[in-house]
């Protein structure tokens, strides 16, 4: 079958045609070109006098944006500048993101987006996304129908209860779905008009928000139990009716809801949880890459997790699936994964374990500190996903280096302030032998004359590509196999040059290429399992590349 024109990359005529009044055109971020409107366009749409007379190129606009951006040393001001740009000119915003992705991504997403959520009520400028309030139960369908773009393909939804490692941010958590969807567009090429950020405002239990006059959410405590479940279910049913082709991504829900909601809906609708599955995909890719350095096999690895929440259990489950694919039994594979929660080692004698931890509760003597666990279990990899900073002490890293020639140390907690250790600490305490990755970026560092460029195990390597693959092939479900194949694909794209400098992942400058390959791997799973609704093209990678939105101005006359 030949590759056909992809509907994901075709702009609807109603969106493509500018408004008749010039000021309306300038106020529409999807259509606005600012000073790049040509003389003919200015004449045709009544823009003369509404803009400075000189016509600039998009490259000149990018240069102007970056000059202003770099003059501000304050990271929150930089975040505000970029969000304001997105609100007035989406094409220029995404051109800036793509041209300067390594510089911009830490601002529009982790770690700065965490600070932006904390300050949301203070920096609020313009509405973006939809707030679905518990006070509107019974009317959620009506509310979603008000969204102006009708062909939504990707929705990111949060209830704000577990934002990064910052805890309950309530309605302030809107910064997360907005930021995630910016990465869907910037990293993978999902058209911006096909995305919808949503915050379910079910209240907050954070005292300072309940009494803060600038807090913009409901100043009531969170609903729970049946009331919460019925509210979420009404939202899910409304989404499937109003946006039947949409992929729904759950984001930053607390553990007690995240696992339960994923299990309830994963076989009913097209959905996944990035904290559970996306984090697992990028972490597994890091493990695959580390094996290229150590020369070991996956089935010989033993992983100790500091943390036992969504990210940790998600990684553990995907790691088990990967080892089963290499011939190991599920029980033996699970026995290679150990977890430390906030109390102690997860082991079989404990009676206080949540259900999601029980498959990994192995027979072992009780242990209450991480160093003792490292000494007893002798892991080949230590993965931090607890949200607790500075947990990987010098003694722990030195012990990892004593029992492993090349210890694998992943400090994945976000934002940077929550990292279990820094890159410099991991390298210096292991005498330069650690294989390191982190959730938030760390700068290059030097140890005894060798420069290391630590890799960021950023979910942006995985979830945007999965989303592109799902939407382009029209997948109806998102099975775990998609993340398993994404991990292998991502690891394969890290070159020997990347690995030689300590980086387990390809540079972010290749993110569009990476996303196209992950999208192809995702679609391959969908076609193999009979989940795709679009015809299969001859070349999946080329098809995904052609589907990617490009931030270039269109001519209107």
Q: How far is Cα 398 from Cα 426, in angstroms, rounded to an integer?
A: 9
Question: Do the beta carbons of residue 278 and residue 459 sit within 8 Å?
Answer: yes
Question: Do the beta carbons of residue 246 and residue 157 sit within 8 Å?
Answer: no
Q: Which residues of 221-241 are buried (b: 16+ CB within 10 A; e: fewer)?
A: ebbeeeebeebbebbbebbee
Question: Do the beta carbons of residue 197 and residue 178 sit within 8 Å?
Answer: yes
Q: How do strand 130-133 and strand 154-158 relate by DSSP bridges?
A: unpaired
Half-sphere exposure for 5 (CA within 13 Å, toward CB): 4
- Of 109, 427, 549, 553, the active-site residue reads 109
Question: Do the beta carbons of residue 354 and residue 255 sit within 8 Å?
Answer: yes
The yes-or-no answer on residue 109 being catalytic is yes
Q: Is the peptide bond before 415 cis (omega within 30 degrees of 0)?
A: yes
- How many C-beta neighbours within 10 Å does residue 334 have? 20
Straight-line distance from the first to the last Cα atom of the chain, in angstroms, rounded to the nearest whole number = 36
Q: Is 142 exposed, middle or buried (0-12, 13-18, 19+ CB in 10 A)?
A: exposed
Q: How far is Cα 513 from Cα 192, in angstroms, rounded to an integer?
A: 19
- How many C-beta neighbours within 10 Å does residue 343 have? 12
**Among 207, 208, 203, which residue's Cα sits nearest to residue 218?**
203
**Among 387, 393, 430, which residue's Cα sits nearest to residue 412?**
387
Q: How far is Cα 199 from Cα 113, in angstroms, rounded to an integer?
A: 15
- Of 115, 180, 357, 418, the active-site residue reads 180
The yes-or-no answer on residue 527 being catalytic is no
Q: How far is Cα 43 from Cα 18, in angstroms, rounded to an integer?
A: 13
Question: Do the beta carbons of residue 206 and residue 168 sit within 8 Å?
Answer: yes
Active site positions, annotated: 109, 180
């Amino acid at each position: 079958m030949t590759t056909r024109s992809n509907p994901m990359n075709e702009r609807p005529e109603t969106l493509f045609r500018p408004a008749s009044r010039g000021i309306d055109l300038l106020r529409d971020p999807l259509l606005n070109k600012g000073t790049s409107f040509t003389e003919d366009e200015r004449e045709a749409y009544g823009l003369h006098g509404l803009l400075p007379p000189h016509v600039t190129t998009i490259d000149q606009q990018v240069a102007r944006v970056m000059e202003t951006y770099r003059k501000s040393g304050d990271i929150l001001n930089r975040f505000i500048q970029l969000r304001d740009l997105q609100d007035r000119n989406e094409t220029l915003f995404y051109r800036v993101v793509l041209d300067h992705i390594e510089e911009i991504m830490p601002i529009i997403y982790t770690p700065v987006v965490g600070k932006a959520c904390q300050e949301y009520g203070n920096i609020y400028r313009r509405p973006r996304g939809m707030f679905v309030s518990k006070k509107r139960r019974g009317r959620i369908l009506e509310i979603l129908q008000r969204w102006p773009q009708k062909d939504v393909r990707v929705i990111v939804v949060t209830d704000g209860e577990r934002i990064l490692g910052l805890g309950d941010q309530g309605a302030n958590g809107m910064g997360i779905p907005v930021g995630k969807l910016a990465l869907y567009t910037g990293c993978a090429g999902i058209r911006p008009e096909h995305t919808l950020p949503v915050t379910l405002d079910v209240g907050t239990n954070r005292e300072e928000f309940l009494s803060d006059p600038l807090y913009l959410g409901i100043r009531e405590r969170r609903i729970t139990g049946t009331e919460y479940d019925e509210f979420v279910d009404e939202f899910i049913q409304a989404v499937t009716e109003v946006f039947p082709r949409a992929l729904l991504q759950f984001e930053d829900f607390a553990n007690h809801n995240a696992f339960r909601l994923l299990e309830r809906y994963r076989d009913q609708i097209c959905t996944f949880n990035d904290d559970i599955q996306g984090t697992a995909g990028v972490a597994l890719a890091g493990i695959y890459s580390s094996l290229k350095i150590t020369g070991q096999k996956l089935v010989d690895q033993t992983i100790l997790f500091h943390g036992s929440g969504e990210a940790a259990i998600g990684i553990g489950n995907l790691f088990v699936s990967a080892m089963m694919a290499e011939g190991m039994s599920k029980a033996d594979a699970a026995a290679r994964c150990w977890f430390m929660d906030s109390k102690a080692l997860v082991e079989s004698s404990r009676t206080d374990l949540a259900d999601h931890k029980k498959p990994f509760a192995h027979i072992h003597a009780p242990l209450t500190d991480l160093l003792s666990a490292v000494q007893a279990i002798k892991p080949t990899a230590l993965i931090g996903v607890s949200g607790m900073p500075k947990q990987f002490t010098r003694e722990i890293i030195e012990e990892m280096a004593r029992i492993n020639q090349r210890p694998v140390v992943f400090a994945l907690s976000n934002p940077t302030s929550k990292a279990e250790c820094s890159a410099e600490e991991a390298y210096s305490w292991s005498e330069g032998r650690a294989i390191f990755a982190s959730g938030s970026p760390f700068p290059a560092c030097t140890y005894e004359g060798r420069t290391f460029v630590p890799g960021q195990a950023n979910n942006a390597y995985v979830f945007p590509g999965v989303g592109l693959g799902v939407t382009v092939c029209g997948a109806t479900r998102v099975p775990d196999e998609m993340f398993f194949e994404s991990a292998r694909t991502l690891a394969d794209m890290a070159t020997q040059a990347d690995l030689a400098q300590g980086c387990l992942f390809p540079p972010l400058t290749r993110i569009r290429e990476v996303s196209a390959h992950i999208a192809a791997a995702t679609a391959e799973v969908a076609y193999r399992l009979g989940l795709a609704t679009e015809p299969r093209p001859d070349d999946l990678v080329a098809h995904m590349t052609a589907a990617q939105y490009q931030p270039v101005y269109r001519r209107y006359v």
